[in-house]
């Protein structure tokens, strides 16, 4: 709708300039004082004004800019249609409002687009697209501060069976429920990403190995206690398996993820529904928990 508002503003300004420059009778939309202004954006805003979204500060900035531009432009168009000459100051004031609205709308649109780009559309957690950049920042911060960061991979056990037996909508319900449990039980400064399929990647900042295992085990237990009720009404129970590895400041981020993946597969071989911490032991094994 912000794109629609920008398009409508461009069309409206074109009609406005055409009427004034060419001396033509202005179209109704150019001289109407109707509030909200006619058009898709004005009608959308009016319909949604009581629904909470528009209480957000960014929209509170956008609507006054839109309404003030429209009211001033219509007033000037009526004045010109009545044979009065507009002053340069009046014209400049109107164009300043038009440019202010367009700049505000583009800033909000771009912010929303960045946010949507960074979020997984199903679960609402961060997407894999922004994951590597964020983990690289964590690696650099670990170098500066000397505080360890642990990376964890969480895999939903036997997820394919959920899809096969109950359908993909049930699988989506499970993914949403697991993501909700992970978010609810993470610390405010931890991060979660949709890694792909039924896997989530977690980053535990300023954490030692024992703490990381404890956090992951708390997440594992919370997931194991929940019941998911998809549309077919059959209550589903699921478990999850975790592989952890410290984010080595001297190694590429990809290496840490690979090691967490090794720990994850070790946990699956050991029976699932557990946490394994990777360490550089000669046998490349892990300490198993859960």
Torsion-angle region of 234 (φ positive above 0: left; ψ -120 to 50: alpha; else: beta): beta
Nearest of 121, 111, 117 to residue 56 by alpha carbon? 111
Question: Can you say whether residue 86 is alpha, beta or left, with left for phi > 0 and alpha for psi between -120 and 50 degrees?
Answer: beta
Please count the residues of the chain: 290
Residue among 98, 86, 205 at smallest CA distance from 141: 205
Q: Does residue 55 carry a catalytic annotation?
A: no
The two structure tokens encoding residue 269: 């071989």
Nearest by Cα to 5 from 102, 99, 72, 95: 102
Q: Token match 């859960």: residue?
A: 290
Tokens of 164: 């096969």
Point out the catalytic residue in the list 198, 217, 261, 270: 198
Q: Which residues are catalytic?
A: 198
């Amino acid at each position: 709708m912000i794109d629609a508002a920008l398009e409508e503003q461009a069309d409206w300004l074109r009609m406005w300039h055409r009427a004034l420059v060419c001396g033509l009778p202005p179209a109704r939309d150019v001289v109407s004082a109707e509030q909200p202004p006619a058009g898709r954006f004005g009608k959308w805003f009016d319909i949604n004004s009581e629904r909470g979204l528009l209480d957000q500060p960014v929209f509170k900035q956008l609507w006054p800019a839109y309404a003030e531009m429209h009211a001033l432009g219509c007033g000037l168009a009526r004045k010109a249609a009545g044979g009065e000459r507009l002053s340069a100051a009046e014209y400049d004031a109107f164009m300043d409002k038009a440019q202010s609205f367009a700049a505000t709308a583009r800033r909000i649109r771009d912010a929303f687009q960045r946010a949507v780009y960074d979020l997984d559309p199903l679960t609402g957690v961060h997407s894999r697209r922004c994951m590597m950049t964020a983990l690289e920042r964590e690696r650099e911060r670990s170098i500066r501060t000397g505080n360890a960061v642990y990376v964890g991979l969480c895999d939903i056990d036997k997820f394919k069976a959920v899809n096969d037996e109950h359908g993909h909508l049930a699988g989506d319900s499970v993914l949403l429920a697991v993501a909700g449990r992970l978010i609810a039980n993470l610390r405010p400064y931890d991060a979660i990403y949709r890694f792909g399929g039924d896997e989530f990647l977690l980053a535990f900042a300023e954490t030692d190995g024992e703490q990381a295992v404890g956090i992951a085990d708390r997440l594992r237990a919370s997931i194991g206690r929940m019941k998911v009720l998809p549309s077919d009404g059959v209550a589903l129970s699921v478990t999850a398996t975790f592989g952890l590895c410290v984010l080595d400041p001297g190694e590429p981020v990809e290496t840490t993820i690979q090691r967490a993946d090794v720990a994850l597969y070790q946990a699956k071989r050991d029976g699932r529904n557990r946490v394994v911490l990777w360490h550089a032991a000669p046998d490349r094994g892990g300490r198993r928990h859960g």
